[in-house]
A and B are shown apart, each in its own frame.
Chain A
Amino acid sequence: MSLFPAVTWLAVRELWISFRLVTIIALFLLAGAFVALLPGLGQRQPASWYAIGLAVASAAAGGLTAAILSLERKRGTAAWLASRAVPRVTLLVGWFIALLAAAAAGFVPGSALAWFTIMPASPTLDPQRFALGLLAAGSGSLACVALGMLAGALLPPARATLLTLLVCAAAAAGSLAVPDARSLTPASGYFLLAEVPAGWPLGRALQAIGIGLATTALLLAGAGLALERADL
């Protein structure tokens, strides 16, 4: 029997009992609901608001991830599992999958809500382009969660949370506000999502997805190494 399903299920239950599952789902759902409820807010396009909402939700989810993993170490629950011969990498991946599932459970309906708001405002919008923009932004969200795992494996809860929030918010703000940083950061997907009505070459979205996924993989590998060397 693999230990992985047991650890993932345990992580999902812990998220559920501690209301963090609902919080993460609500964060991503609210990003879409915000655009759907307030489509004409300010001078910005609804797609821009959705990109901003996703960036905020991702930074918050990253911070929450950092707090969760760091607390698992501090409270000794990670140690209890490790002393039952559960490999630390199994712990890390189990928690990542549980958090990913929670984020996806809010991201998918939130994106559907956003789509139904953005589409009437931009009738010529290509659904494929919107989906690619979403995937690019989603890869940035994944990187935020992975950064939270790295910070949570290294630092105490408060510092891990703050650091993750700051880095994710800075990367998203850079992507949305600084033109030179748009194609270089894992958060460049937010910019592509904001500019989806204006159009961009599909290759740019693929590049953004690649950067986001590669960053996620690197951060997770770093988190694995950090957790392997950490005291539990």
Chain B
Amino acid sequence: MGIPPVKSSTPEALWSARSVRVLRPAAVNCQNLERRPLLDGFSLRVPVGSRLLLVAQPDASASLLLRALAGLARVRGRIEMAGTGDPSRAGWARRVAYVGADPGLYAWMSPREALQLAARLAELSHEETDRRTEAAVERYGLAGSLERPMIHGGPGLMQRVALAAALLGDPEVLLLDEPLRALDPDERAGLLTIPGARRTVIIAIRYPASEGGICSGVALIRAGRLAFAGPLSGLDARGLPLSMRGIEALAAASGGPAG
């Protein structure tokens, strides 16, 4: 039985082709990452389109991993992102976006200025900038505070703007390190429902609670190594809660890192 041919070369047609789904190419592939004691020979492969919940003991390991994937922290080992091992602007740098726990935006900027700067750095055209900014403003509820400096809006506003700015460049891989922690869990879950079936999202959370509907997989880092990776539905199947303790119990029941 053969796999049906791809009928068009548009990204949507390619993505929806059965052959691509069968191959499940990796959006993130890291091998033997070392930076002791937080990462000690860590390896992980995340297929394209995955929504991965990342938890760690100690939790700084997950944060370091995401910052290393984003090119912000230096680790030894091999990293391939979005199908390339080249971390430069010509490689994966423009195809990957990162949002940290501290948004890192200038507080004197207004949300509009921050979004326009993000669009300029992503080299979007004026028309595309306007179109995507409007969509981001609507999606992240920024209309009421669009022109005021973000310092007046508090950390919640800055985190929403940081997430909106990260999505402005339509990244293939989105790395979220404790995002939107200034918001309540329900609002956070709503905003973290990231659009785009082809987009790979990795969310590092210290206290997982409201990410059940957002993520499809879960990975646990323990002592710098991958202790477990598997579908998040495993928690429900075993009647375990979505919590650090539940994920540890799932890892213990599964008995290995390869999920």
Contacts and interface: CB of A to CB of B under 8 A. Distances in A.
Q: Do A and B interact with each other, yes or no?
A: yes
Interface of A: 1, 3, 6, 10, 13-14, 17, 75-87, 229, 231-232
B42 interface: no
28 contacts: A1-B123, A6-B121, A10-B117, A13-B108, A14-B106, A14-B108, A17-B106, A76-B104, A77-B105, A79-B104, A80-B103, A80-B162, A83-B70, A83-B97, A83-B98, A83-B166, A84-B118, A84-B121, A85-B89, A85-B94, A85-B121, A85-B122, A86-B121, A87-B88, A87-B89, A229-B74, A231-B67, A232-B72
Nearest to B99: A83
B118 A231 contact: no
A231 B122 CA distance: 22
B167 to A, nearest CB: 12
A120 B123 CA distance: 55
A1 B120 CA distance: 9
Contacts of A80: 103-105, 162
Contacts of A13: 108
A3 B104 contact: no
Contacts of B25: none
Given A75-B102, A80-B104, A83-B71, 19 more contacts: A1-B120, A76-B100, A76-B103, A77-B104, A77-B106, A79-B67, A79-B72, A79-B104, A80-B105, A82-B72, A83-B70, A83-B98, A83-B100, A83-B166, A84-B118, A85-B89, A85-B93, A231-B74, A232-B73
Interface of B: 67, 70-74, 88-89, 93-94, 97-98, 100, 102-106, 108, 117-118, 120-123, 162, 165-166, 169
Contacts of A6: 117, 120-121
B105 A84 contact: no
Given A83-B98, A85-B89, A231 B72 contact: yes
A6 B102 CA distance: 22
A85 B106 CA distance: 17
Nearest to B89: A85
Contacts of A229: 74
B163 to A, nearest CB: 12
Contacts of B102: 75-76
B103 A231 contact: no
A87 B12 CA distance: 31
Contact of A83 (B72, B117, B120, B123): B72
B155 to A, nearest CB: 12
Contacts of B166: 83
B104 A75 contact: yes
A6 B93 CA distance: 18
A3 B121 contact: yes
Contacts of B71: 82-83
B108 A17 contact: yes
Contacts of A78: 104
Contacts of B122: 84-85
What 8 A-B pairs are tightest by C-beta distance, nearest first?
A76-B104, A80-B104, A85-B93, A83-B98, A84-B121, A76-B102, A85-B94, A232-B72
